Amino acid sequence: MNEWDAYYEEATKRNIGLVSREEQSRLRRSCVAIAGMGGGGGLALTTLIRMGIGRFHIADYDTFSVANTNRQVGAMSSTMDRAKVAVMAAMAEDIQPASQVRTFPSGIGLHNIDDFLEGVDIVVDSLDIFAQPARKLLYERARAKGIPVVFSAPPGFSATIGVCTPDGMSFEDYFDLREGMTPFQIMAAFIVGLTPAGTHWSYSDMSCVEPGEQAAPSSAAALTLMTGILATEVLVILLRRRKPMALPRYAQFDPYKGVYRTGRLRWGNRGPLQRLKRWWIERKFREHAATYNRAGFEPLPTADDADTD
């Protein structure tokens, strides 16, 4: 046993009992791709590496800013204006020196999506809510390659979970995303599909949403909760412990309200109740529609943005 094997065994020994030694070895051989190194993605990386997953692909084109410090694990006074993937890769390798972290500092686009998914066992979607073109590409290519995608959201003080499996309902069908929809309509559909239970609406002040800055209220408490749920689902899928929380199933845990809601949307966002919710969202935020449509979405990065490992 070499130095790093011994380090890994000592670092993960408290996992044993929740996972077997053989399962821990399987986790070490696994590769997880995480798209987005902000609030959810950064915490997912550090949590999964502490759980013993050995290989990662991480993508993000952004740098840390002061506004990130309320929720993003890599955002500190010492990391301001530094690339998120570089900061988080260093943090991961500091936690587990034997890990392998491949970085994609231009984010994901047509020029590198296949490399990003090469040899990957599971994908974690931690993209910004406004990165819909990259999200669409990610789900299309992952499905074509037979790779499941786990996604979560931290609305209010709650957390949601969902999984898009290669043989289940597709991302586009569940969210009912079609050609010709405006950015505002896509956002409404995405929000309603992420949070069918909507437990957070009663205490969230959505007048604080800033569509021009592509920002909304967020909490470190919700992101931490979300990460625990998401990381557990990743482990379940990698170790085949049970069936995943696959679309059209959904769940939302809200400790603020003291409730846990689960359900199954047979027709996804095309169901009558979901259509009603979309109408309500569009009506509630209609005064912001022009701003959303004008701001649009984050464009896909191109080959002009070179990636380095």
For 124, 142, 276, the CA distances from 110, given in Å and listed in that order, are 18, 13, 35
pLDDT given at position 305: 64
The answer to the question of residue 156 being in a domain is: yes
Would you say the pTM of this structure is higher than 0.85? yes
In a domain, 128, yes or no: yes
Give the model confidence (pLDDT) of 126-178 as tens digits.
998 889 999 999 999 999 999 999 999 999 999 999 999 999 999 999 999 99
Please choose, from the candidates 152, 96, 121, 163, the residue with its C-alpha nearest in 3D space to the C-alpha of residue 33: 121
Compute the C-alpha angle 41/46/48, nearest 5°.
Answer: 90
Neighbours of 172 (CB within 10 A): 15
193 within domain boundaries: no
Q: What is the per-residue pLDDT for 309?
A: 46
Residue 109 domain flag: yes
295 vs 94: CA distance, rounded Å: 38
Residue 23 maps to a domain = yes
Q: Whole-angstrom distance between the N-terminal and C-terminal Cα of the chain?
A: 28
Percent of the chain with pLDDT over 90: 76
CB of 225 closer than 8 Å to CB of 253: yes
CA distance 210 to 193: 21
- Strand segments (E) across the chain: 31-35, 55-59, 100-104, 122-125, 149-153, 159-164, 249-254, 259-264
The set of residues, in sequence order, having a beta carbon less than 8 Å from that of 212 and lying 6+ positions away, is 291, 295
Per-residue pLDDT tens over the stretch 214-254: 666 778 899 999 999 999 999 999 999 999 999 999 999 99
- C-alpha to C-alpha distance for 165 and 79, rounded to whole angstroms: 36
Q: How many domains does the chain have?
A: 1
DSSP state, residue 287:
G
Distance CA 112, CA 137 (A): 11
Q: Which amino acid is located at 51 in the chain?
A: M
Per-residue pLDDT at 308 exceeds 60: no
Tell whether 175 is covered by a domain. Answer: no
* Structure tokens that stand for 161 in this block: 């979970």
Instruction: Give me the mean pLDDT over the 265-279 stretch.
Output: 95
- The total number of residues shown for the chain amounts to 309
- Phi/psi region, residue 117 (left: phi>0; alpha: psi -120 to 50; beta: rest), is alpha
User: Rounded to an integer, what distance in angstroms lies between the CA atom of residue 198 and that of residue 187?
Assistant: 15
- Distance between CA 153 and CA 158 in Å, rounded? 8
Do the domain assignments include residue 85?
yes
Provide the residue range defining the domain that includes 241: 3-170+218-266
Query: 87 in a domain, yes or no?
Result: yes
What mean pLDDT is predicted for residues 275-295?
Answer: 88
Q: What is the CATH number of the domain that holds 68?
A: 3.40.50.720
* pLDDT tens per residue, range 80-113: 999 999 999 999 999 999 899 999 999 999 999 9
**Tokens of residue 289, six digits:** 């529609």
Burial of 220 (0-12, 13-18, 19+ CB in 10 A): middle
